[in-house]
Amino acid sequence: MTMWLKQSTAVVVSFGPFVDQADGVALETGLVSALDHASTGILLSKNGGALTIRHANVTASTYDAYGNYCVTLDTTDTNTLGTLRMQFAAAASCLPVWQDFMVVPANVWDSMFGADRLSVDVEEIGANIITAAAIANGAIDAATFAAGAIDAGALAADAVDEILDEVVEGTLTLRHVLKVLLAVCAGKSSGGGTSTAVFQDNADLKPRVTATVDASGNRTAVTLDGA
């Protein structure tokens, strides 16, 4: 599992468990001096670089429990963004142990695990492309809306049109369905008592519904025209 670390920040991490090289089971509890050795102790690889000894000015490690040690990484150890591999190997006393970290900017770490907020400023603002001068007085104001440059009514009408043009069933849109319903509920009709019942559109220009009915008035075929 990769742990996150805040860049250029000292931190105490749990490192282990260390087990005996012979049986791979017995816990090693006396490795403090070996871990902190100035030349053969814990090694670090910063962002894929060569393994080098942990920073010389280390805070002494301490044994915790169950083969784990509390190890301090100082601000020099965590000064490089990216991956950080911590490793220790001593063939005469224990099996190799390693831990991977991801070093992230302080703002990112504080936003994920602290009380800060992640900075998401658009790059253009940093380049001074979007500035107060670029948005001049009156560029976006009540007069602009009044002049129709940004027409709230048109936006609302477009939204309504999108709803009306949604397909309800088959190829029928909500607009078609409403026209058909208006014809049946309030349009002129003809053919009552015959085998064909017709319901006209509101302007009485075309049949919206043409239905073939039997003697009981049951519809056996229906042609719709909602266009």
In tens, the pLDDT along 170-210 reads 888 888 888 888 888 888 888 888 989 898 888 888 899 99
Other C-beta atoms within 10 Å of 66: how many?
A: 11
Work out the percent of the chain whose per-residue pLDDT is above 70: 83
Domain contains 30: yes
Residues 11 and 102 in one domain: yes
pLDDT at 137: 61
Sequence-separated (6 or more) residues with CB below 8 Å from residue 214: 195, 220
Structural domain ending residue among the three candidates 79, 110, 141: 110
pLDDT at 72: 96
Q: Which of 16, 15, 42, 11 lies closest to 27, judged by CA?
A: 16
Q: Structure tokens of 6?
A: 């805040």
Domain contains 190: yes
pTM above 0.75, yes or no: no
pLDDT at 123: 60
CA distance 29 to 210: 92
pLDDT at 74: 95
Angle between helix 152-164 and helix 174-186 axes, rounded to 10 deg? 80
Residue 17, preceding peptide bond in cis (omega within 30° of 0):
yes
Q: Which domain holds residue 177?
A: 167-224
Domain contains 115: no
Domain contains 122: no
Sequence-separated (6 or more) residues with CB below 8 Å from residue 100: 1, 2, 3, 83, 84, 85, 86
Give yes or no for residue 119 having a pLDDT over 70.
no
Specify the range with the lowest mean pLDDT, choosing from 21-35, 58-72, 124-138. Answer: 124-138
How does pLDDT run across 148-157, given as a tens digit for each residue? Answer: 656 666 777 7
Specify the range with the lowest mean pLDDT, choosing from 34-38, 67-71, 218-222. Answer: 218-222
pLDDT at 136: 65
Residues 104 and 180 in one domain: no
What's the whole-number average pLDDT of the chain? 86
8 A C-beta contact, residue 55 and residue 76: yes
CA distance 7 to 80: 7
